[in-house]
């Protein structure tokens, strides 16, 4: 049975903390763009950008990234990645990119996402922000901004649930056994 590990209220609080951290770490916002990794990262990126736009009173560009074609496990059929489109409606050249995902585990998705972004241009810097760090890294990759660290058994799946409005995040559940 899926188990709710975090409620909407808790998530809102974490996002707020993350926004504060970002405000402190980034300082100037005119060259900052956000890119969310499909599909969980897009939700998180959207929520955080909304908060930051209020705080900075600026329009912050937001793109989405589909990493299916950049995975290193395509031929192993470990995952069954659906290929959806990548949509980055701005140039990343000389920008500071904040790459967003919902969960970091092995680090392989982030590696793929970085490769993908580099195919679009040459950013000045890429930061990585994640809502949850569940550990279990297989690559030397660490996030710059972490919402919460949680130790979750390897066989469990962690997933963020979309709010009924289709935009926000409802809650976070862990469930089942990994394929």
Partner 1 sequence: MNWPHKDIIAVQDLTSAEIGLILDMASSFKEISRRDIKKVPTLRGKTVVLLFYEASTRTRLSFEIAAKRLSADTTALSASGSSFSKGETIMDAAYNVMAMSPDCIIIRYPYAGVPKKMAELLPCSVINAGDGYHEHPTQALLDMYSMKERFGRLEGLKVAIVGDIMHSRVARSNVYGLIKMGAQVVLVAPKTLLPPGVETWGADVMTEFDPVIPEVDAIMMLRVQKERLHERFYPDSREYSIFYGLNKRRVDMMKEGAVIMHPGPMNRGVEITYDAADSARSIILDQVENGVAIRMTLLYLSMGGSANVD
The answer to whether residue 68 forms part of the interface with partner 1 (CB under 8 A) is yes
Nearer to partner 1, 16 or 84 (CB): 84
Rounded to a whole number of angstroms, the distance between the first and last alpha carbons of the chain is 16
The answer to whether residue 69 forms part of the interface with partner 1 (CB under 8 A) is yes
CA separation for the pair 103, 147 (Å, rounded): 10
Least distance in angstroms from the C-beta of 83 to partner 1:
5
For the CA atoms of 139, 157, 39, 33, the dihedral, rounded to the nearest 10 degrees, stands at: -40
The answer to whether the bond into 39 is cis (omega within 30° of 0) is: yes
Nearer to partner 1, 44 or 67 (CB): 67
Binder to partner 1 among 70, 128, 132, 145 (CB under 8 A)?
70
Binder to partner 1 among 61, 120, 141, 150 (CB under 8 A)?
120
Number of residues that bind partner 1 (CB under 8 A): 22
- Footprint (CB under 8 A) of partner 1, residues 3-62: none
CA separation for the pair 42, 113 (Å, rounded): 13
The answer to whether residue 75 forms part of the interface with partner 1 (CB under 8 A) is yes
3-state DSSP call for residue 49? helix
The answer to whether residue 66 forms part of the interface with partner 1 (CB under 8 A) is yes
Strands (E), 27-124: 32-37, 62-65, 96-104
Binder to partner 1 among 82, 89, 155, 165 (CB under 8 A)?
82
The answer to whether residue 161 forms part of the interface with partner 1 (CB under 8 A) is no
CA separation for the pair 46, 35 (Å, rounded): 9
Binder to partner 1 among 59, 85, 165, 178 (CB under 8 A)?
85
Q: CA triplet 86, 64, 31: central angle to 5 degrees?
A: 120
Residues forming the site for partner 1 (CB under 8 A): 66, 68-71, 74-77, 79-86, 115-116, 119-121
């Amino acid at each position: 049975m899926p188990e709710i590990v975090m409620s909407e209220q808790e998530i809102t609080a974490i996002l707020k903390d993350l926004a504060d951290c970002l405000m402190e770490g980034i300082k100037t916002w005119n060259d900052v763009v956000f890119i969310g990794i499909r599909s969980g990262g897009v939700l998180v990126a959207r929520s955080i950008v909304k908060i930051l736009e209020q705080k900075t009173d600026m329009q912050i560009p937001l793109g989405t990234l589909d990493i299916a074609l950049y995975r290193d496990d395509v031929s192993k059929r470990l995952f069954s990645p659906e290929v959806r489109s990548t949509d980055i409606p701005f140039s990343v050249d000389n920008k500071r990119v904040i790459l967003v995902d919902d969960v970091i585990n092995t680090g392989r998705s982030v590696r793929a996402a970085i490769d993908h972004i580099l195919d679009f241009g040459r950013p000045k810097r890429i930061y990585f922000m994640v809502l949850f760090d569940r550990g279990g890294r297989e690559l030397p990759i660490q996030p710059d901004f972490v919402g919460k660290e949680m130790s979750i058994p390897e066989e469990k799946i962690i997933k963020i649930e979309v709010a009924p409005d289709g935009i926000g995040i409802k809650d976070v559940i862990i469930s089942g056994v990994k394929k």
